[in-house]
Each structure stands twice: as C-alpha cells, then as structure tokens.
Amino acid sequence: MNKVNKVNYIIEELENLFPKVPVPLNHKDPYTLLIAVLLSAQCTDERVNQITPILFKKADNPYDMIKLSVEEIKEIIKPCGLSPMKSKGIYGLSKIIIEKHNGYVPKTFEHLEELPAVGHKTASVVMSQAFGIPAFPVDTHIHRLTLLIAVLLSAQCTDERVNQITPILFKKADNPYDMIKLSVEEIKEIIKPCGLSPMKSKGIYGLSKIIIEKHNGYVPKTFEHLEELPAVGHKTASVVMSQAFGIPAFPVDTHIHRLMYRWGLSNGSSVVQTEKDAKRLFPEKKWNKLHLQIIYYARKYSPARGWNIDNDIIMKKIGRKSILNKLI
C-alpha cells in the first residue's frame, strides 16, 4: 500500500472510530452538557466528572434544578471552585430556559450567551457537541494563557499530573497580571511535581511579563510571537494555535511521533521531520481534528507500553513491515 492509500485509510478509519473527538465532560443531553461546561471553568474535567453525577442525581433538568436553592447547588458544586457565581448561574439559566425556551436549551449563540454565566466558549461547546452546529470553541484570552501554561508544563510530565497541578496554580494566578505578582520561587514550588520546575517557573514568569509588555495582556496569535516567549517551543505554539485560535497546525507529541513511524509515514529521525511529513501527507483542513484523533487512537490501541498488536487494526493493515515481522 503506497503512502497516499495509507493516508486515506488512516483518515477513514480514525473518522469511523472517533467521528467526534470526545468531549471529556460526562453528559447525556444539551442541558447536562451546558452545566458541565459551565462547571469546568477553573476546574479540571476529572473533578467536574466527579461532581456532576451527584448534582444530576438530584436535578438533571431545569425543572428539577429550580426546586433546589442556590445554596444547595453551591454546596454540591463547591469542589469545582467559584461556587457562589456558578450556583447562581445554574439556577438562573435553568429558570430562563423554562420561562423563555419551554424547558429546552436554546440552539443559537445569541440565546445561549444571554444565559447567566454562559460565555462564548461554553456556548460554542454546546453548539458544536450538543447540536452538531459547526463551531470552534475558542476560550477567552485568559483561557489561552492557561492553555499555554498547561502545555508548557506537560513537557516531561503526564497530562494527568498537569491537571492536578494547574488548578492550584490558576487559583492563585490565571492571567499574566496575577502571575507576575508571584515570585519565580513561588511558581516553582507549586509546579514542582510536574518536573523541570526551575526552567518552567522562569518560563511562566517571563512569558507572562512579555505578554503584558508586548501584547497588551493577550496571548499572541502568531507562531513567530509565540515562539519568542520563554520556554515556548514549536509544539507548544502549535497546540495553542490549533486549540485556542483554530488556526491549522499539527502539533506532534510522542504519540503522533510513534504512530507516524509505526505506520511507515515518517522515518522517526525527529519530531521536526515527523511534523513535516504529517503536514505534507494529510490535508490541511483535517489537521486540527486529525492530530487529536491520532492521539486518542494511540492511547487506546497503539500505546508505547503494553501494546497488543491484535487490538491495533490500523497497524495490522498498513504498518511498517519491519515491525510487523517481529510481532506476528
């Protein structure tokens, strides 16, 4: 099978397996998704998924939600942070959904963004994931900074560990102005479990300072300016460009690097070469979704450790012959 045929097969197979890149927040309908996304502000998806079953057991629709008091909602969602604001928002939006929308979550950006505590990012997730209406959930500039810092922290560290540490850091500083009020040493102590804390803490402080001084407090929107920031490399810049701004990019992590080699689409010499090969072989319009699909596939079917070739359908079909011959 030549590379063109391999690429077409991979795209088709990944689209079958992951037609929608999974939303990491557990939900069953537009209303529960709306509440879950609202709760995810300044909170990890893992924590939200621990709290929503408790809340939804009492109220998983707007009619039952307004039977609870704001105080009751607040007590349940307290572990997610910002509970005074979020509880009022959940109660208020539930009331409006009943009074103005006959109990149904509205299907337009205009009406969604009129709801208490619902911003454009939350509305975009609901429009995209609940209603299948094309939208790219782009967070506010604050989220862009937290995404930038989270990706920076993920170097030599698992996503799980990063997601344990970022809520602690972002509770103290989730924007560049608050970040530079902390000392490098304070940042270092918080992020120590993520590894490389001396370099990362200096990077976080330094990039926050530059974002204020050179970019009016906003995360810059070009590869050139992102890669000028301390501790920000091309992969980090690519994730931010793709996920925060919706600009086509193909961030190559260890999973993508591994699979591109296993599939015989790159020689494995470097992540730089892997990125060049991925961009050359895959259509640009598919990059932002496809790189996530490959990561999900790699984690589930083609891991670095504990790899079972029988589960790896793509590898069995189009994998590098030198690897397959050793395994089969």
Given 86, 121, 188, 200, which residue is catalytic?
Answer: 121
| Residue whose entry in the numeric block shows the structure tokens 């900074």 | 145
Number of Cβ within 10 Å of residue 16's Cβ equals: 9
Given 139, 174, 253, 277, which residue is catalytic?
Answer: 139
Q: Is 121 a catalytic residue?
A: yes
> Which residues are CB-contacts of 278 (< 8 A; sequence separation ≥ 6)?
250, 252, 256, 260, 265, 266, 287, 291
Tokens of 295: 């990561």
CA distances from 282 to 45, 77, 237, 313 (A): 30, 43, 20, 20
First to last CA, the chain: 18
Q: Is 107 a catalytic residue?
A: no
Q: What residues are labeled active site?
A: 121, 139
